[in-house]
Structure 1
Amino acid sequence: MAKRIHSPAMTTHARKHVLLAAAACLLPLLLQLPMSLGIGYGLGALAVAAASKRKPLPLLLRLLLGGTALLAVLAVAPGIGRDSACAVLAAMLALKPAETVSLRDGRSLVGFALFGPFATFLLDQGPVSLLLALAAVLLALLALQRLAMDEGQAMPDQGDAGQGHDAAHATNWQRQAVFNVLHLFALGLPLALAAFWLFPRLPTPLWGLPERSVAKPGLSDSMTPGGMIDMLLDDSPAARVQFFGPAPRPDQMYWRGPVLWDFDGRTWHQAMALQGFSPAPMQAGGPRWDYQIELEPSENRQLIALDVPTQLPEGARISLDYTPWAESPQYNVSRWRMQSQPVAALEADLPDPLRMRALLLPQGYNPRTVALGKQWRREAGSDSQGRSDAAIAERALAMIRREFTYTLNVPLTGRNEIDDFLFDRKAGYCEHFSSSFVVLMRAAGIPARVVTGYSGAYRNPIGNYWLVRKSDAHAWSEIWLPKRGWVRVDPTAAVAPERVHDTLADRRPGQFGNFSGLVPVFNAGDWLRRGWNDFVLGFNAQRQRDLLKPLGIDALQPRDLVALFALIAGLAVLWMSWLIARGERQRDPLLRAWHALEARYRKLGHGRAVHEPAQVWAARVAADQPAAGEHLGILARRVSNARYASADERGALTRLLRDLRRHRP
């Protein structure tokens, strides 16, 4: 039976390198997890590393910590998805130092930790994540070099020696190790750039990207009370818009998203069947706006457009109710050139099936609201011109202006949420106002529907574009009036116009209270992020096909991209091979001096063959020139010892070789 070979224990400094590399790999992943998990795993990793400094934690304790970490994942990110899988990876990485003692353990920890930054890119592809990942890979490679040198006993443990001589060796090693890693990065850069620019892009991820188990705030095809609160509290970007020509006023910027028709008493749903129909007839009522909208990834097919869209590019569609949507899920940053116009009349003739759908209310819900709507109808009567319908809508708005307040602090809802809002609570935010208004209108016999999207935008003076944030999420109402068709009514604006139109200075991003010093910093940061989206994340298959248009090549087909990638990748590999071969000689001063001495002997007719060992070559020279050959043999042995055994005499030997080359052997 073969005897098991045990790996030697890590030195103090090697362990520090390994733990630093593991922490750097874990950090970008923790920043993308839910805050509770990120903070918990970060503190847990520090505690585990400190507790296992001298010896590994007991097995039972490690199992207990692992089980606790998994339970935390199930509590915060239930289900199977990217978030839960990345959270499990972070938990295991945080606990791995508890059993890291030997050199083999350290190498295993570094290799396992490298999954951290790569898993981060499943959750975020921003520049900060990339910079943190590059730093993590750099530290991981440095740690692996340190482990390799310790395993070969190339240098002592400075933590124990504490001598100036050893400290000098440590400084030289660190400088050389950093240079080696940067050299490796430079070698791989041409191949990485070739793969980014030329490897054929796929419309969807190659691995069939699973759904997120913790959904990020975003527009949905449904609206439930309390469902928009996460978006209203999230100031992260949702879209960036650049206008070509005049831009509408901020209070005109209603960014139309899903239109919700069906109500079950609690939740509003989008009428998906209407996506297959052409847009309803529309009569323009103002100037046309031409703009390009850059949307953050949503992983669904929801788009937004300035109300109402009249022209969308290839890959996007407008449904019958003017809901914009994409033909495929948007996993990456996407850009859409659109046109929109204000309307004078939208679907002036409402078909009976749509009228019935826009009047439908579930039985047994919100009896007080239904009774109030019927009462208003009896009091207003009816006429073919729609004046009574408009009067009922204005009566509802007047009630809101007089009695209601806007607040995000809303208690849990009951079965009759609309009744509770209109008659008891009289406080809420946009989804409560729009939902209640539509139900009240339907009860009064007025066709109505809910529209979700965003309202307002912030103009970034750096770059001259408009930023739409997730906190700008909004829901408003549309009612149908004779001869005018669908008319936008925003009941929230009746009570809190500053929150809807986003025009107050204290709503600017980067401003906290009366302090506005961070606003320019935010503007510059968002402008840089926009450039990153444009240059990196927005580089899609279409832009790849148009890559060589400036050279007169209209479009690169996939086979052309593959051929071009193979050519440039082959050249990059040849370039890497040449640099490696050249660098092996140029990087080591001792090796450079030895090869220079060989070149001197070659000019004298005693050159060393490529396959010939140094000491065999020295013996051959000694046969022809005994005096010079004997001295050369001693040097050959010293060079071999210096390169493959000890580093103590490398400097003195290098100087001796240089002096010998200057004299004729």
Structure 2
Amino acid sequence: MKTSPPLDAPTRGWALLTTALALLPLLLQLPAVLAVGYAIAAIAVAALAWRHTVPMSLRLLLIAVMLVAIYWQMGPRPGRDSGCALLAAMLAIKSSELRTLRDARSLLGFALFAPFSAFLLDQGPGTLLLALAAVISTLLSLQRIADGEAGRASAAITQQLRVVGRLMVVALPLALAAFWLVPRLPTPLWGIPERAVGRPGLSDTMQPGEWIDLMADDSPALRAQFFGPVPAASQRYWRGPVLTRFDGRAWTRLDSQRHTAAPRLVAADVRWDYQIEYEPTERRQLVALDLPTTAPADTQLDADYSLTSRRPLTALTRWRLQSTSYRQFQPDLPPLLRQQALQLPPGFNPRTQALGRQWRSEAGGDEAAIVQRALQWITGEFAYTLETPLAGRHSADEFLFEQKAGFCEHFSSAFVVLMRSAGIPARVVTGYAGGVRNRFGDYWVVRKMDAHAWSEVWLSGRGWVRVDPTAAVATERIYDTLEDRLGRANAGGFDVAGQWNQLAQLGDWMRRGWNDMVLSFDARRQQQLLRPLGIERLQPAQLIALFAVLALLTVGAMIRLLARGERERDPLLRAWHRLGARYTRLGLAREPHESATAWAQRVEEKHPGSDLPLLSQRFSDARYAGAQSDLASLLADLRRHRPKPGART
């Protein structure tokens, strides 16, 4: 087997730079601890392997440490993110085998898996741009490797970039044709559609301390666009899971409600028509403006008026919804559900239960007065803060009688316990509250930090009624956002926070455009691609046929461009071809069977005094006989030469 030439320092540097560019988009999608650890390992291995062979024992140790780190961060359950983390770990130590040009080509081929694997975790424009940079760097590095194997010096970087640019321009139509015309599949291509580590988001449970990470995340949870009236701030509650069962610490959903039809609802006159873009959560839970009237296709509306998707939400999804305000919501409460909405575990929160029984005896049958009394107590004595210690066994007692400070998780939970203690059916509702209008796109952004929990109490004649105990203390947390408050700051001078908020809104508007053009291009939109031309629906066979035609045209153009680029890589040959093109325009083209000398002689016989035979001889000597003495002057003469006036066939 022929031995591959050893790597020179510049080619090694290009290979390592390309590997780093390929690894970067993948690292940005992994947990920070893993990403930093892999980056440090990759730099250390590359530095050590630059001059010395990395011992096998050290490589095995690094592999073991990385596997332990993946298990520590992601657990034993396999998923897309754990698979990507394993790929990043392998790529981080792959440079330890970098010795020859063949090794460099192998490393580059392996590195290209990284940016494309990053698309399994994120399909944003940032990931695309980083992947494109890695691909361009890979093509440049492969050019250097090819030059090294051929034993020739690499061309200038500007010329290499021109060649790569032509390749990218030719490949772009093929990529667009594949995006538009390859029939979309209803399910993902990868075998494991879920992630090993869940993303922050709403879940079927709520327990002390669980919401801190979610409320610290300012990334978008959903974007909503209204068609017609926009609900007032006090009505922008985005309903998610409804939690009824309480074990003294955690709130969970009732399984019986998931498979029961939605109960009777007496709607008011106000209705809202809107569309939401829901960010991927890897779960099935959806949210809708309180209360949704119908369930869109592929979703289910349960007895709690919570929406659930039939498939995990692994990608951005769009849903057209209608919601309404209501006069009565389940005015006839089934006995079993009443019992469950009054259930309290024995041995928990004795002070809260005693207070509830006392208020009931004092109010008699006026349940609305009990609710109002609790809200007045909260308004007068309670504060809103995230700095709250983790609750102990008697969480409601500790919050209501000792701390008197917390956030929505504490307020909603303690309020429901208090209402149940007073004999009023109650439950916790989770979701989001509020939202900020994007001035550039006229839509509303609801962020994960807008996650909220409120209460519902059942009152005779009205049914379930929304009560938000947190709003009694921190109105701005419900009807306002951190971005609004920052925008009003520094009104007397230069508003740095407000300017940043405007840039953030512009960035989100651009991201929404990307979502609309790229991520939301589904099978339905694909089949309607030629509707402007009068073709209502494209069948899969028609899509494949169109793609095949465009692919053949593109590949043909690519082959022609590559062949031409290879022929004209030599500046001397390029100058000679351009000279020939000038004669071709006059009808004096060189025939395929003619040599350069024979063609020049034919032109000279028809049009004496052209000096073409002398130039042809000098070109042949320089090109084929190795005469390099007057190469610079020959190039100049070839570029200056023009056919004599009147030189036509």
Report if the CA contact (8 A) 2:220-2:446 is conserved.
yes
Residues 617, 353 of structure 1: alpha-carbon distance in 2 compared, 3 angstrom cutoff: farther
Shift in Å at residue 604 of structure 1? Answer: 9.0
Residue 441 (structure 1) aligned with residue 419 (structure 2): yes
Which of the residues 129, 142, 148 maps onto 1:144? 142
- Partner Cα distance (2:360, 2:629) in 1: 99
Which of the residues 492, 497, 502 maps onto 2:480? 502
- Partner Cα distance (1:174, 1:97) in 2: 24
Residue aligning to 2:457: 479
- Partner Cα distance (2:7, 2:637) in 1: 36
Residue aligning to 1:159: none
Residue 639 (structure 1) aligned with residue 623 (structure 2): yes
Residue aligning to 2:91: 93
Task: Give the stretch that moved more between structures: 88-97 or 132-141.
Answer: 88-97
The one-letter amino acid paired with 1:24 is: L
Q: SS where residue 340 of structure 1 aligns?
A: strand
Shift in Å at residue 483 of structure 1? Answer: 0.6
Residue aligning to 2:64: 67
Which of the residues 344, 361, 365 maps onto 2:327? 344
Residues 605, 205 of structure 1: alpha-carbon distance in 2 compared, 3 angstrom cutoff: closer
- Partner Cα distance (2:592, 2:518) in 1: 51
Residue 570 (structure 1) aligned with residue 552 (structure 2): yes
Which of the residues 54, 57, 71 maps onto 2:54? 57
Residue aligning to 1:250: 233
Shift in Å at residue 309 of structure 1? Answer: 1.4
Residue 306 (structure 1) aligned with residue 269 (structure 2): no
Residues 578, 415 of structure 1: alpha-carbon distance in 2 compared, 3 angstrom cutoff: same
Which of the residues 504, 518, 538 maps onto 1:556? 538
Which of the residues 435, 442, 451 maps onto 2:429? 451
The one-letter amino acid paired with 1:373 is: G
Instruction: Please show how residues 85-124 of structure 1 align to structure 2 within 5 Å.
Output: 85-124=83-122
Q: Which runs of 5+ in 1 are unaligned?
A: 156-169, 622-627
Instruction: Please show how residues 528-567 of structure 1 align to structure 2 within 5 Å.
Output: 528-567=510-549
Report if the CA contact (8 A) 2:79-2:192 is conserved.
no
Residues 245, 508 of structure 1: alpha-carbon distance in 2 compared, 3 angstrom cutoff: farther
Task: Give the stretch that moved more between structures: 421-430 or 504-513.
Answer: 504-513
Shift in Å at residue 358 of structure 1? Answer: 1.7
Residue 366 (structure 1) aligned with residue 349 (structure 2): yes
Instruction: Please show how residues 370-389 of structure 1 align to structure 2 within 5 Å.
Output: 370-382=353-365, 387=366, 389=367
Residues 407, 607 of structure 1: alpha-carbon distance in 2 compared, 3 angstrom cutoff: same
- Partner Cα distance (2:588, 2:321) in 1: 77
Report if the CA contact (8 A) 2:396-2:414 is conserved.
yes
Residues 371, 10 of structure 1: alpha-carbon distance in 2 compared, 3 angstrom cutoff: same
Q: SS where residue 322 of structure 2 aligns?
A: strand
Q: Deviations over 1:391-415 (max 9, x none)?
A: 2222322332333322223333434
Residue aligning to 1:518: 500
Residues 533, 181 of structure 1: alpha-carbon distance in 2 compared, 3 angstrom cutoff: same
- Partner Cα distance (1:565, 1:647) in 2: 49
Residue aligning to 1:625: none
Shift in Å at residue 343 of structure 1? Answer: 1.3
Residues 365, 657 of structure 1: alpha-carbon distance in 2 compared, 3 angstrom cutoff: same
Shift in Å at residue 593 of structure 1? Answer: 4.7
Residue aligning to 2:398: 420
Q: Which runs of 5+ in 2 are unaligned?
A: 603-611
TM (norm. structure 2) is 0.88
Residue 41 (structure 1) aligned with residue 38 (structure 2): yes
Shift in Å at residue 594 of structure 1? Answer: 4.9
Shift in Å at residue 531 of structure 1? Answer: 0.5
Report if the CA contact (8 A) 1:48-1:95 is conserved.
yes
Instruction: Please show how residues 69-468 of structure 1 align to structure 2 within 5 Å.
Output: 69-79=66-76, 80-155=78-153, 172-382=155-365, 387=366, 389-468=367-446
Shift in Å at residue 468 of structure 1? Answer: 0.4
The one-letter amino acid paired with 1:122 is: L
- Partner Cα distance (1:652, 1:265) in 2: 92
Shift in Å at residue 557 of structure 1? Answer: 2.7
Q: SS where residue 54 of structure 1 aligns?
A: coil
Report if the CA contact (8 A) 1:26-1:90 is conserved.
yes
Residue aligning to 1:488: 466
Shift in Å at residue 632 of structure 1? Answer: 7.0
Residue aligning to 2:606: none
Give identity over the alignment, percent. Answer: 53
Q: SS where residue 468 of structure 1 aligns?
A: strand
Shift in Å at residue 112 of structure 1? Answer: 1.6
Residue aligning to 2:605: none
Task: Give the stretch that moved more between structures: 427-436 or 127-136.
Answer: 427-436
Shift in Å at residue 110 of structure 1? Answer: 1.6
The one-letter amino acid paired with 2:70 is: V
The one-letter amino acid paired with 1:424 is: E
- Partner Cα distance (1:458, 1:260) in 2: 27
The one-letter amino acid paired with 1:399 is: W
- Partner Cα distance (1:27, 1:648) in 2: 48
- Partner Cα distance (1:526, 1:453) in 2: 22
Q: Deviations over 1:334-369 (max 9, x none)?
A: 222222221111111112222222222334433443
Q: SS where residue 390 of structure 1 aligns?
A: helix
Residue aligning to 1:166: none
Report if the CA contact (8 A) 1:250-1:503 is conserved.
no
Residues 535, 92 of structure 1: alpha-carbon distance in 2 compared, 3 angstrom cutoff: same
Shift in Å at residue 502 of structure 1? Answer: 1.8
- Partner Cα distance (2:487, 2:203) in 1: 25
Report if the CA contact (8 A) 1:598-1:607 is conserved.
no
Report if the CA contact (8 A) 2:244-2:252 is conserved.
yes
Residues 314, 257 of structure 1: alpha-carbon distance in 2 compared, 3 angstrom cutoff: same
- Partner Cα distance (1:650, 1:337) in 2: 70
Q: SS where residue 288 of structure 1 aligns?
A: strand
Report if the CA contact (8 A) 2:25-2:115 is conserved.
yes
- Partner Cα distance (1:605, 1:554) in 2: 49
Residues 152, 579 of structure 1: alpha-carbon distance in 2 compared, 3 angstrom cutoff: closer
Q: SS where residue 47 of structure 1 aligns?
A: helix
- Partner Cα distance (1:74, 1:647) in 2: 63
Shift in Å at residue 442 of structure 1? Answer: 2.0
Q: Deviations over 1:553-600 (max 9, x none)?
A: 222232332233223323333333343345445665433455578898
Report if the CA contact (8 A) 1:596-1:661 is conserved.
no
Q: SS where residue 467 of structure 1 aligns?
A: strand
Q: SS where residue 183 of structure 2 aligns?
A: coil
Q: SS where residue 498 of structure 2 aligns?
A: coil
Shift in Å at residue 300 of structure 1? Answer: 2.4
Q: Deviations over 1:262-282 (max 9, x none)?
A: 223322222344343332221
Which of the residues 6, 10, 20 maps onto 1:9? 6
Residues 140, 429 of structure 1: alpha-carbon distance in 2 compared, 3 angstrom cutoff: same
TM (norm. structure 1) is 0.86
- Partner Cα distance (2:385, 2:621) in 1: 84
Residues 371, 181 of structure 1: alpha-carbon distance in 2 compared, 3 angstrom cutoff: same
Residues 402, 174 of structure 1: alpha-carbon distance in 2 compared, 3 angstrom cutoff: same
Shift in Å at residue 532 of structure 1? Answer: 0.6
RMSD (Å) for aligned C-alpha atoms: 3.4
Residues 413, 523 of structure 1: alpha-carbon distance in 2 compared, 3 angstrom cutoff: same
